[in-house]
A and B are shown apart, each in its own frame.
Chain A
Amino acid sequence: MTRPNDIEFTNVTKRFGDVVAVDNVSLSVERGAFFSFLGPSGCGKTTSLRMIAGFDQPTEGDVKLSGQSVVGVPPYKRPVNMVFQHYALFPHFNVGDNIGYGLRQRTPQPAKADIDRQVSEMLELVRLSGYENRRIWELSGGQQQRVALARALINHPTVLLLDEPLAALDRKLRREMQIELQTLQREVGITFILVTHDQEEALSMSDTICIMHDGQIVQTGSPTALYDDPVNRYVADFVGKSNFFEGKVVEADDHGAHIETASGRAFAGRNPRNAISLKNGSSAVLAVRPEIIFIASPKTGAPSNADVEAPAVIRNRIFLGEQTEYLVEAEGLGEVLVRAPKHAETQTGGFNPGDQVLIGWQSAAALALEDA
């Protein structure tokens, strides 16, 4: 059973002069999804969002909202609303008038009492009851964020667009708002489209993430899919942390490949799902997530399931609470990042810079990726 799509891009290209901001992108977003565009600045994510809002029109291709093409439709006629980066609240209106702005633009205009009622409902939704008459500059960043949300949601848009909504908040507040946004989305049940460069934000909130690079989609999928099966080095690097060992494919089949590094040692890795198989002789990388790497004292030796191991020296140790991050210099591998969970640390008693250790991993957990 598939739900109808709220948004559909068909071969959408957007050029600004000679610059191609969005390059032949096709995608669809299911109704009620929490969908994120993730990528570094200049990857085309914001332009994609602006084409949904109507601030930019595609140079080629078609954009559909609820099955209807909206190419050429101005923003004020689209059933979508946006939460702007830095909120773009009207400084000459108070909180209530900001939130009621969208209702006042309707023809016929709703009665004042009706607007007031809806505004106070919205304030309740964003937990700012009684703030109607506050001036915008009297609010904290988090409160402004919630006013911006209320101002957008009061119009009951079919899609809510969020442009880096949390970028201006401090870390703790950002966490809270992430949870709040997710809760809100479940409550109102409409499609949320988020644009962010913060992978953690995208991973924690979205159902689906679309990773963009140079105007093109690199991979679309659930956070887990992107983390476990990145199609290439770019995605693996963007989503979570990885150690990359560059080399040449010396042996490949449908399931995986052996990659020989500059040190002459070959490592096995599996192909991610949905990725094209690597070819013999092509350059590739072996991606190993730091949390799958074990770290042990030479005396205790490697765990039984590990099939790759190498002696190493601890360079640096960062205690992160639930885990500890080590930077080690491993023989034939160079610098390697390792994350040891709390329980493992308890067992080994931890290591200090300069300690001789043994690191390694299970080949089945390593990925052989296209070096892109």
Chain B
Amino acid sequence: MQAKWINRLLLMPATVWLLVMLVLPLIFVIVFSFGERAPAGGYIPAFSFEQYANLPARFTAFKNTLTLAPLGTLAALLIAYPLAYYLAVKANPKWKTLLLVMVIVPFWTSILIRTYAWIYILGGRGIPHLLEFIGIDGVRLINTPFAVLVGIIYGYLPLMVFPIYVSLEKLDKRLLEASADLGSPPLRTFRQVTLPLSIPGVATGCMLVFILLMGEFLIPALLGGGKVFFIGNALVDLFLQSRNWAYGSAVAATLVIIMLVTVTLYMKLVARVGEQREDVSIL
């Protein structure tokens, strides 16, 4: 009896927090999404599906987000994995901590400032200027989807590196020796042992990066020159510029639904792998 009471008490702050900060706003978003924009902006109650019918007007935002988010996740994975592998398996233990700190250090600076730095690196006085020295002229990098991708990879890399690093770090190195001992060359050992055992880290990293990317708006705005439009940008504009709360809510609700579906499918996939394996369990 008493234990039950204590459990409730322990869960109280989190429950209240979730209710106030997640459930309640979500209800507002859903209610608003059926309403209409007030003449001077804002919201007036109504019950119409007009806002949802208008969704195709943001098709490009959905398309850009749903292309660049998975692409960015995949690219971050491809860069993060070898780095995490090096840190966890190959790096000299003496330098390991220092190297890990170097991965985190950029996080001490605001993402805004770091992304601004990329404006200069990718801008005309940056990489394109260096390329001119070796005879490659007319390269434009800034304000392109490529620049957005670079920014995304840069910004989210540590989020991908750390879960993978942790899963590789706790990997028993004797398993690799066992595999070699049983006749498997290093590359096959990687494929048969290291990679499958780091799947939990990969799954967590991809999930983190993908979910955050779906709501990204800063990097496309700064490195895409306002021309590469994400759902996040559409939402910022709808709420802060056109002040069309009803339409904004419909876009937000749609984004939430897409995320729920994607994440559910993803978890099902991971769970299917996990059924056969005790070591794969995320969430």
Contact = CB atoms under 8 A, between A and B. Distances in A.
CB–CB under 8 A between A and B in the complex? yes
Contacts of B188: 105
A135 B278 CA distance: 9
A74 interface: yes
A272 to B, nearest CB: 38
Contact of A155 (B177, B183, B276): B183
Interface residues of B, number: 20
B179 to A, nearest CB: 7
A316 B91 CA distance: 55
Contact of A76 (B183, B196, B197): B183
A88 B183 contact: no
A234 interface: no
Interface string A55-96: 100000000000000000011110011101110111110000
Contacts of A89: 178
A106 B278 contact: no
B174 A102 contact: no
B90 to A, nearest CB: 16
Nearest to B273: A92
Interface residues of A, number: 27
Interface string B159-183: 0000000000000101101111111
A81 B197 contact: no
Contacts of A106: 183
Contacts of A80: 181
A117 B145 CA distance: 56
B182 A155 contact: yes
A75 B177 contact: yes
Contacts of B185: 74, 76
A74 B187 CA distance: 13
Given A91-B279, A105-B188, A137-B278, A75 B174 contact: no
Contact of A90 (B175, B183, B278): B175
Contacts of A102: 182-183
Nearest to B174: A88
A369 interface: no
B177 A55 contact: yes
B125 interface: no
A76 B178 contact: no
Given A135-B278, A137-B278, A88 B184 contact: no
A75 B181 contact: yes
Given A76-B183, A80-B181, A155-B183, 17 more contacts: A55-B177, A74-B180, A74-B185, A75-B177, A82-B181, A84-B177, A85-B174, A86-B174, A88-B175, A91-B277, A92-B196, A92-B276, A105-B188, A106-B183, A151-B182, A152-B181, A155-B182
6 contacts: A54-B180, A84-B178, A88-B174, A91-B279, A92-B279, A151-B182
